[in-house]
Structure 1
């Protein structure tokens, strides 16, 4: 099959793309921008949910959770 014909053969183009992606993600300015966008989105999400009865809310970077009351 050759060096490029295997699932686990380590395709050089895929490896180069993976390395470039990891390099881009770990730039400090990129991560700061992710945190800023996360806070912006969570704030606007909560503003749109004001009329619901919410027990708990939390977020961390681009992950958030909201627990709604079972009763109105």
Structure 2
């Protein structure tokens, strides 16, 4: 016999609700981070010559000059 209080949700239902809310919140946070930092490129039509990029990426690093004393 029920004493007037609402029956408690089954533990599985409560767990499912908790997981759903947690995953939905994480998705919203990830979308917000993406939108804030990655959705808008600095320049829309930025084209770099492939040769210039290759030269920059594959060139030997400059050696520091320690002869100035």
Q: TM-score, normalised by structure 2?
A: 0.37
Q: Which has the larger share of strand?
A: 1
Based on CA coordinates, which of the two structures has the bigger radius of gyration? 2
Q: TM-score, normalised by structure 1?
A: 0.35
Asked which structure has the greater RCO (Cα within 8 Å, sep 6+), the reply is 1
